[in-house]
C-alpha cells in the first residue's frame, strides 16, 4: 500500500510490540505491506506479528532497519538516541509518528475516534465488538487486546474505522473523524501538560478536527467534559450529543442495575426507552457503553440493534480481567493507574461482590511524574480496598525524580485509613499476597506496568498452599 503523505508499503516499527504500534503493524501486514520492526523482548504480541509475516527483531540495533525500508514508525516513547532511529535519519528514511500512520490508515473510511482521560480502550473495544456482531466488519485500532494477542487491531471490509485517540502526547490532533467521543477530561500526563487549561485547549483542537457535519458525543456528567462542551458549542457545522445521567443529557441514563459481574442499563434515546445488558461490572463501564451506543447511532446504526450487540462485549485484557481462581480466591487484573480509574474499578468490584468477601490490591504506580502529582489521590483510592500492597514505581519511559517514590502513596493511604504494606521486591510479591488472601477474597493486580505478570504467580502460590495443606493432612 502507499499513502501520498507517508509511504507505508515497507514500514519498520521501533517498539513494534507496544499496544498502539503492534495494532498498526498488524493492519499494514494484512493490507500487504512488508512490515519489519524491533522490540525489547519476545512476547505473545511479537509471535502474533511474525505469524502475519512481519520480521521482528529482539533488541534495538541499526542493522535491524532493512534495505528498502520506506519509513520508520515511532511512538513518543522512543528516545532520540535509539540506534534504529539514528540509522533512519542517517540514511534519509522518513520518520513517521504512529499517529500519522494511524491517520493514513483511516483515510477513506468513516472514522470514529474515542478520546478521554479514562475509558478509551474499553469504549473503542465495545464499538469494535458490537459493530462486528452486526456484520459491519469495522477496522479498528485499540490500546489493548480484546481476547488474544494481536486482537488489538483488525483490517475490516466495512466502511467504518474505530480508533482509540490518545491525548497524552497530543497525537489525537492528527485525526479527522466523522464521529468523536470524549468520555471525560482531567489533568494527567504531567510531563506533557502543565495545566488543566492546556488539556482543554488540546481537546478543543481535537474536536476542531471533526469533519464538517460530524458529531461529538460527550459526557453530560463529567465536569471537565461539560467545560469542553461549553467551549465548542458555537460551531455551527458540529452536532453535539451529550450522554449521561444528568437531566439535560441528550441520551439520558435512567438506571444502571448491578447483576453480579454484569449490569443492566436503561437509557432514553430520541424519546425511546432502551434496556440492554453490559457484560462487565461497574457503573463507569455502563456509561462507556452508552457513549458507544450514541456514537454508533450517529453513524446510522439502528439503536435497538446496537444496544443488543453491545452485550456481546465481554472485556479487554487487563480491564478487570479474571486471571483465575485458586484456594477460593479470585485474581483479577486491572489496568487502572490514575486515581479516578482506581476508584472506579474498586467501586465496581465492591458492588459486584456485595459484601461477600474482602478486596485485596497489589498496586504498581506508573510513572514518576504521575506519582509526584497524584500520590495523595492514589492513596485515598487504595483506602477503598480491605488491604493493599504497593510496589515500587514502574518508570516506563521516564527517568527517576528525586524524592518521588511509592512511599508517597503509602503515606497518603495510611492517612486515609488504609491497611497498606510496601513490597520492594517484585519477585517476593506473589508469596506475600497469597499469604494475605483467604477463601472468598478477590485480589486485584492493579497498574499499567508489568504488575499484570504477577497474576499467574499469585495463583501458583495459592495452589501451592493448598497442596501443602493436603500433604500435611495426609501425614496426620
**Do the Cβ atoms of 458 and 445 come closer than 8 Å?**
yes
Rounded to 5 degrees, φ, ψ at 76 are -70, -15
Q: Is 247 a catalytic residue?
A: no
Q: How many residues does the chain have?
A: 476
Q: Is 164 a catalytic residue?
A: yes
β-strand pairing of 359-363 with 387-390? parallel
Say how far apart CA 373 and CA 378 lie, in whole Å: 10
SS3 content of the chain, % helix, strand, coil (to 5): 35, 20, 40
| Burial (CB count within 10 angstroms: exposed 0-12, middle 13-18, buried 19+), residue 94 | middle
| Burial (CB count within 10 angstroms: exposed 0-12, middle 13-18, buried 19+), residue 473 | exposed
The per-residue DSSP string of 176-192 comes to --SEEEE-------TTT
The per-residue DSSP string of 325-370 comes to EETTEEEEEE---SHHHHHHHHHHHHHHHTTSS-EEEEE--B-HHH
Say how far apart CA 156 and CA 322 lie, in whole Å: 29
User: By C-alpha distance, which of 330, 329, 348 is closest to 340?
Assistant: 348
The rounded Cα 169 to chain-centroid distance in angstroms is 15
Which residue in 45, 69, 121, 262 is the catalytic one? 121
> How far apart, in Å, are the Cα atoms of 146 and each of 105, 128, 151, 307, 317?
20, 9, 6, 19, 6
**Do the Cβ atoms of 231 and 256 come closer than 8 Å?**
no
Say how far apart CA 118 and CA 222 lie, in whole Å: 11
**Do the Cβ atoms of 180 and 142 come closer than 8 Å?**
no
What's the Rg (C-alpha) of the chain?
23
Which residue in 26, 120, 174, 323 is the catalytic one? 120
3 state DSSP class of 215: strand
Q: Is 445 a catalytic residue?
A: no
Catalytic residues: 120-121, 164
Amino acid at each position: 500500500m502507499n499513502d501520498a503523505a507517508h509511504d507505508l508499503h515497507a514500514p519498520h516499527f521501533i517498539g513494534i510490540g507496544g499496544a498502539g504500534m503492534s495494532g498498526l503493524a498488524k493492519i499494514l501486514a494484512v493490507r500487504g505491506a512488508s512490515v519489519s520492526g524491533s522490540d525489547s523482548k519476545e512476547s505473545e504480541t511479537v509471535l502474533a506479528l511474525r505469524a502475519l509475516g512481519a520480521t521482528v527483531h529482539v533488541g534495538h540495533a541499526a542493522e535491524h532497519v532493512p534495505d528498502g525500508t520506506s519509513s520508520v514508525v515511532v511512538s513518543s516513547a522512543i528516545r532520540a538516541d535509539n540506534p534504529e532511529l539514528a540509522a533512519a535519519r542517517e540514511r534519509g528514511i522518513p520518520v513517521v509518528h504512529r499517529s500519522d500512520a494511524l491517520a493514513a490508515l483511516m483515510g477513506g473510511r468513516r472514522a470514529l475516534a474515542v478520546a478521554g482521560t479514562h475509558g478509551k480502550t474499553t469504549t473503542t473495544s465495545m464499538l469494535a465488538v458490537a459493530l462486528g456482531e452486526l456484520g459491519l466488519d469495522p477496522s479498528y485500532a485499540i490500546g489493548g487486546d480484546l481476547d488474544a494477542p494481536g486482537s488489538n487491531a483488525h483490517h475490516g471490509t466495512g466502511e467504518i474505522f474505530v480508533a482509540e485517540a490518545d491525548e497524552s502526547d497530543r497525537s489525537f490532533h492528527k485525526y479527522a473523524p466523522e464521529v468523536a467521543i470524549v468520555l471525560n477530561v482531567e489533568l494527567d500526563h504531567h510531563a506533557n501538560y502543565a495545566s488543566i487549561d492546556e488539556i482543554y485547549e488540546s481537546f478543543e483542537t481535537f474536536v476542531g478536527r471533526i469533519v464538517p457535519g460530524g458529531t461529538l458525543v460527550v459526557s453530560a456528567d463529567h465536569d471537565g467534559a461539560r467545560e469542553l462542551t461549553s467551549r465548542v458549542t458555537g460551531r455551527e457545522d458540529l452536532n453535539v450529543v451529550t450522554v449521561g445521567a444528568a437531566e439535560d443529557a441528550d441520551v439520558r441514563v435512567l438506571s444502571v442495575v448491578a447483576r453480579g459481574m454484569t449490569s443492566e442499563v436503561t437509557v432514553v434515546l430520541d424519546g425511546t426507552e432502551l434496556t440492554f445488558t453490559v457484560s462487565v461490572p461497574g457503573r463507569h463501564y455502563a456509561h462507556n457503553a452508552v457513549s458507544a451506543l450514541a456514537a454508533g447511532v450517529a453513524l446510522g446504526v439502528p439503536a435497538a440493534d446496537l444496544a443488543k450487540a453491545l452485550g456481546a462485549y465481554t472485556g479487554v485484557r487487563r480491564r478487570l480481567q479474571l486471571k483465575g481462581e485458586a484456594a477460593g480466591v479470585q485474581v483479577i487484573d486491572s489496568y487502572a493507574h490514575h486515581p479516578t480509574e482506581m476508584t472506579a474499578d474498586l467501586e465496581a468490584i465492591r458492588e459486584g461482590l456485595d459484601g461477600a468477601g474482602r478486596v485485596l490490591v497489589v498496586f504498581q504506580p506508573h510513572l514518576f511524574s504521575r506519582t509526584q502529582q497524584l500520590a495523595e489521590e492514589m492513596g485515598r483510592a487504595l483506602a477503598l480496598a480491605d488491604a493493599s500492597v504497593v510496589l515500587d514505581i514502574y518508570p516506563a519511559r521516564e527517568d527517576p525524580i528525586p524524592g518521588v517514590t511509592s512511599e508517597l502513596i503509602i503515606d497518603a493511604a495510611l492517612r486515609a485509613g488504609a491497611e497498606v504494606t510496601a513490597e520492594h521486591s517484585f519477585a517476593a510479591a506473589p508469596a506475600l499476597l497469597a499469604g494475605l488472601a483467604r477463601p472468598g477474597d478477590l485480589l486485584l493486580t492493579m497498574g499499567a506496568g508489568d504488575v499484570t505478570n504477577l497474576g499467574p504467580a499469585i495463583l501458583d502460590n495459592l495452589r501451592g498452599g493448598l497442596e501443602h495443606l493436603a500433604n500435611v493432612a495426609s501425614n496426620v
